[in-house]
Structure 1
Amino acid sequence: MPLAADGESGSPPPGFTADGSEVSHRRSARGRSPDRWPALAFLLPNLTLFTVFTLLPVVVGVGLSFYEWDLISSPEFVGLENYRRLLDDGEARHALWITALLILFGLLPTIVIGLVAATLLNAKFRGIRYIRTLYYMPIVISLVASGVLWRFIYEPNRGLLNWLLSLIGIDGPPWLSSTRWALPAIAMVLVWLAIPLSTMLYLAALQGIPSTVLEAARIDGAGFVAMLWHVIWPMVRPTTALVSLVTVLGLAFGSFDLIASLTQGGPLDSTNTLIYYMYDTAFNQLQVGYASALAVFNFVAVFGTLGAVLAIGRRLVK
């Protein structure tokens, strides 16, 4: 746009000075810099809490892994001794195996049940919003409260689960005191808690699928199972990777409260996951330095698993 001629009134166009030169981006950005202070003011409380209660404890925990400390005497620097001990610790390997089994028991049911439930809840009829709200309720219950609730459900003589099994002629086991069934029982509770979130994520993905695609599949005669497998599943694969990541994190780190309230790692260490073994080492055996090394190892193992899940998810998306 030409500038106004000499002697004519008129203002220069946006982004240009009176002599026709363009205003630099740096100057323009400097002019907007005061707008950053309100954003920083809103972020500062959250960043402060994150630093004090998350980042700082992580740094201190990594530092303590190089010390021997019993919470009473002064810490003693031992270098890599705690990590060398970890490599020879049979209980740590057992706890890692139990954690892997818990993830194996919980991951696939969470994905399958979440996808099926989301497909059913994607229907449009009066009152569906209230049903979705009720379905989401388990996620707002604390883990300790869930543990107390499921302790009554798993009670071998008067529990709800064994009573339901008795109606079809099955004699239910002593769930929480059986070395065979205690870990699947813990996994069942974790799946019950994880399904609402996976369902919500899948439901959001399903609502992004064009209705014409689903309608065309129905016209072609696809039933529920065929539509789920051949139409819906290929289109929600990216969401499956996200659900897998969230579920692995929940199973690995969210199992402590349930195990503490239901089995305390028993019977015979059959539910002694790595995170519970870390707690027992720190606060029952008073070996804080070694427990910190276990925490570092747990972090590396879990996020290594997440990396593998993410790699598999990328292959599924392609």
Structure 2
Amino acid sequence: MSSVAAQDRAATATPAARTPAKTRPGMSRKRREQLAAGLFLAPDVLGLLIFVAVPMVLSIVLSFFQVSGFGSYEWVGLGNYQRMLNDPLFWDSMQVTGLYVVVLVPVLFCVSLALGLLVKQKLPGMGVYRTLLFLPYVISLVVVGVLWKFLLDEQVGAVNRSLRALGLEGESWLGDPTLALGCVIAVMVWVMMGYYMIIFLAGLQEIPTEYYEAAKIDGAGPWTTFRTITWPLLRPTSFFVLLMSAVAAITGGLDLVFALTNGGPANGTSLAIFYIYQQAFGFGEYGYASAMGSFLVLIMVICSVVIFKFTRGGRFDDGE
């Protein structure tokens, strides 16, 4: 009996022995995902801190100093901002920048959207056209400026030579204050339209095809389909394009203006960012340039908020 009992005890103990010991619970799935996201974001966040946040803070601090060419710093408080308010050339450059933004952003938005709708069509060779339209974006703005400066030259430029061949009179495209800013805007649209075309194309491809099929069955025409399906569903993409193009218009364009017109004629293309560059690196007024730069960043933030409110709320958000 004792041997039978021992065998029974061994039989009952065997399953428990074979059962693996309960291990300590490891990191949860949510925690692992958060850690992975943090590791992926860390290089970008670190880059933003080093190359954006820290220089921005230093620029704001520097705006309260008068910096000489010999590296000496003199505390002037709000003196640079007071000087900015009384500087007519700065406000002239802000006026030029305002006109530049007001014209460039809507034109670039409409042209890019139209190109996005065009290249979305499944036609032969469309991939080649997409590449050709995107190609100007990958070219340096300095190279673009030099290229178009040659093309728009009053005497030997290809544009005026073509006009004269057609019996028309050429223009001083970069020498006339009434035409120079328009030329800068046109060249910038030519450069940037391919990039935003790709952004719009990505947004258009995210719209389910079932919506268009249902609209076609209901007898909706192209305009009705665009107004009721495409346009409302492109709200996130439109917000991104408007925001990025406005920021690029306010803070960008320095390379192009420098190479194409050098701010002329008669300061007709002297954008605020170009005037700030002149004050900092042309005259050594780093404190004053920092004050103007801080003010320009404030204007950029205000424009971003306005665009956000316009595209995320009100009539645009409701699809009306």
Taking structure 1 as the reference length, the TM-score comes to 0.83
Alignment of 1:1-318 (within 5 A): 7=13, 8-9=15-16, 11=19, 28=27, 49-166=47-164, 170-218=168-216, 224-225=222-223, 227-314=225-312, 315=314, 316-318=316-318
| Distance in 2, Cα, partners of 1:73 & 1:201 | 45
Per-residue deviation, 1:296: 0.5
Per-residue deviation, 1:62: 1.4
User: Are 1:156 and 1:174, in contact at CA under 8 Å, matched by a contact in 2?
Assistant: yes
Per-residue deviation, 1:265: 1.1
Aligned residue identity for 1:287: E
Per-residue deviation, 1:253: 1.8
SS at structure 2 position matched to 1:180: helix
User: Are 2:252 and 2:273, in contact at CA under 8 Å, matched by a contact in 1?
Assistant: no
The residue aligned with 1:3 is none
| Distance in 2, Cα, partners of 1:76 & 1:221 | 72
* CA deviations over 1:235-269 (Å, ceiling 9, x no partner): 21221111001111211122100111111111111
Per-residue deviation, 1:152: 1.6
Per-residue deviation, 1:160: 2.9
Per-residue deviation, 1:209: 1.9
Structure 2 alignment gaps of length 5 or more:
1-11
User: Which structure has the greater CA radius of gyration?
Assistant: 2
User: Are 1:190 and 1:251, in contact at CA under 8 Å, matched by a contact in 2?
Assistant: no
Paired positions, count = 302
Q: Given the superposition, is the C-alpha separation of residues 278 and 139 from structure 1 closer, same or farther in structure 2, using an over 3 Å criterion?
A: same
Per-residue deviation, 1:182: 0.9
| Distance in 2, Cα, partners of 1:62 & 1:194 | 30
SS at structure 2 position matched to 1:158: coil
User: Are 1:241 and 1:309, in contact at CA under 8 Å, matched by a contact in 2?
Assistant: yes
SS at structure 1 position matched to 2:266: coil
User: Are 1:238 and 1:317, in contact at CA under 8 Å, matched by a contact in 2?
Assistant: no
| Distance in 2, Cα, partners of 1:282 & 1:161 | 35
Between stretches 225-234 and 197-206, larger displacement belongs to 225-234
Between stretches 149-158 and 256-265, larger displacement belongs to 149-158
Aligned residue identity for 2:238: T
Q: Given the superposition, is the C-alpha separation of residues 172 and 309 from structure 1 closer, same or farther in structure 2, using an over 3 Å criterion?
A: farther
| Distance in 2, Cα, partners of 1:168 & 1:278 | 42
* CA deviations over 1:115-164 (Å, ceiling 9, x no partner): 11111101113432232222211110011011011112211233233344
Between stretches 272-281 and 307-316, larger displacement belongs to 307-316
Q: Given the superposition, is the C-alpha separation of residues 29 and 80 from structure 1 closer, same or farther in structure 2, using an over 3 Å criterion?
A: farther
Between stretches 156-165 and 134-143, larger displacement belongs to 156-165
Aligned residue identity for 1:28: M
Aligned residue identity for 2:183: A
| Distance in 2, Cα, partners of 1:231 & 1:168 | 44
User: Are 2:101 and 2:249, in contact at CA under 8 Å, matched by a contact in 1?
Assistant: yes
Aligned residue identity for 1:276: F
Per-residue deviation, 1:78: 0.8
Taking structure 2 as the reference length, the TM-score comes to 0.83
| Distance in 2, Cα, partners of 1:218 & 1:168 | 45
Per-residue deviation, 1:222: 5.3
Per-residue deviation, 1:221: 5.8
| Distance in 1, Cα, partners of 2:72 & 2:163 | 55
Between stretches 65-74 and 158-167, larger displacement belongs to 158-167
Between stretches 157-166 and 92-101, larger displacement belongs to 157-166
| Distance in 2, Cα, partners of 1:40 & 1:181 | 50
* CA deviations over 1:188-242 (Å, ceiling 9, x no partner): 1111122112111111111122223334445666555554445422321221111
Aligned residue identity for 1:277: Y
* CA deviations over 1:43-94 (Å, ceiling 9, x no partner): 6665555444333322221111010012215111111111122122222211
Aligned residue identity for 1:317: D
Between stretches 87-96 and 166-175, larger displacement belongs to 166-175
| Distance in 1, Cα, partners of 2:221 & 2:310 | 29
